[in-house]
């Protein structure tokens, strides 16, 4: 009985996410996708209506006529992720993220489905550096929450270097029907720098929980300042993270990171000051 309830919740959450994402979905196609009888999809729609949603099957597909309350979506997606990961951790960060991304529900649900089903993913993505939008075909690998934002780790379809994409910057998302296999191939070369960052003692308890590097070393100097050493490529994410610490951080090396941050601040000033 418990497994049936779990399967019902997973299916219903995904169906709602697909409809909110603009997909043309009929009862027949949904039944085929989830390998259930069409009457099961009919019961799913009836279930949604008991919750107050005006959702009906029409000739052109399942149509939602009412706005779905945000609290409803946050609870639904939290339960969905909890069943998949066997954890009840997700509700607070989902509520926080719902204030950032108006499409948080379909983003989280459909990306999770794409990862679990190993399906290629098509997205339009607004770059952090200049707000231009690019289209990508991705092999999604992992979805992670980080300080209130949600990040997708994925490979571009024709590349072998793992990239990160902020869900709040995804402007369009579509699951394809094509499955992918992640081959173990050598990554393309990406220049890696020896990064040394110096933090004032007062932020020791704060910054330790905000380090997102997989590999790093920490040590203290004679004045109690904390030195963080890691090997990373120089990216917008790294530079933005450094800037977020204001005067609590000093970039000791490399010079390339300092120059990158200067260029980022200069670009911001030309656009906003």
Distance, in Å, from the CA atom of 128 to the CA atom of 138, rounded to the nearest integer, reads: 18
| Whether residues 34 and 137 fall in one domain | no
By C-alpha distance, which of 32, 31, 179 is closest to 116?
Answer: 179
Rounded mean pLDDT, 228-256 = 91
Residue 23 has pLDDT above 90, yes or no: yes
Residues 94 and 199 in one domain: no
Q: Give tens-digit pLDDT for 37-78.
A: 999 999 999 999 999 999 999 988 999 999 999 999 998 988
- What is the pTM (predicted TM-score) of this model? 0.59
Same structural domain for residues 10 and 119?
no
Give the Cα separation of 153 and 85 in Å (integer).
Answer: 17
Query: What does pLDDT average to over the chain?
Result: 86
Instruction: Give the whole-angstrom CA distance, residue 138 versus residue 119.
Output: 9
127 and 46 assigned to the same domain: no
| Final residue of a structural domain among 169, 188, 207 | 188
Structural domain of 86: 69-188
Q: Are residues 78 and 183 in the same domain?
A: yes
**Would you tell me how many other CB atoms lie within 10 Å of the CB of residue 41?**
25
172 falls in which pLDDT band (50, 70, 90)?
Answer: very high
Report the distance separating Cα 36 and Cα 137, nearest Å: 30
pLDDT bracket for residue 1 (50, 70, 90): very low
- The answer on 162 and 246 residing in a single domain is no
pLDDT digits (tens, 9 = 90+) for 137-171: 999 988 887 666 788 889 998 887 788 888 888 99
Number of domains observed in the structure of the chain: 3
What are the two backbone dihedrals, phi and then psi, of residue 255, each rounded to the nearest 5 degrees? -65, -30
Choose the final residue of a domain: 188, 214, 235. Answer: 188
């Amino acid at each position: 009985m418990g497994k049936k309830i779990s399967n019902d919740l997973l299916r219903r959450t995904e169906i709602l996410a697909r409809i909110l994402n603009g997909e043309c979905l009929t009862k027949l196609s949904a039944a085929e996708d989830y390998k259930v009888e069409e009457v099961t999809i009919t019961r799913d729609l009836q279930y949604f209506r008991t919750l107050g949603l005006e959702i009906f099957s029409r000739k052109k597909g399942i149509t939602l006529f009412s706005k779905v309350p945000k609290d409803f979506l946050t609870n639904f997606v939290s339960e969905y992720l909890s069943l998949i990961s066997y954890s009840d951790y997700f509700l607070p960060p989902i509520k926080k993220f719902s204030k950032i991304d108006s499409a948080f529900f379909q983003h989280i649900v459909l990306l999770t489905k794409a990862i679990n089903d190993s399906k290629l993913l098509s997205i339009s993505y607004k770059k952090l550096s200049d707000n231009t939008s690019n289209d990508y075909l991705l092999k999604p690998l992992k979805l992670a929450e980080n300080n209130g934002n949600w990040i997708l780790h994925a490979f571009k379809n024709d590349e072998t270097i793992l990239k990160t994409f902020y869900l709040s910057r995804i402007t369009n998302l579509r699951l394809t029907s094509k499955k992918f296999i992640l081959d173990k191939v050598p990554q393309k070369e990406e220049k890696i720098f020896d990064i040394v960052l110096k933090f004032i003692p007062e932020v020791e308890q704060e910054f330790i929980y905000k380090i997102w590097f997989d590999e790093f070393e920490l040590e203290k100097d004679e004045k109690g300042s904390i030195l963080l050493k890691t090997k990373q490529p120089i990216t917008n994410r790294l530079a933005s993270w450094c800037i977020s610490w204001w005067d609590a951080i000093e970039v000791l090396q490399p010079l390339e990171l300092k120059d990158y941050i200067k260029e980022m601040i200069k670009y911001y000033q030309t656009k906003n000051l």
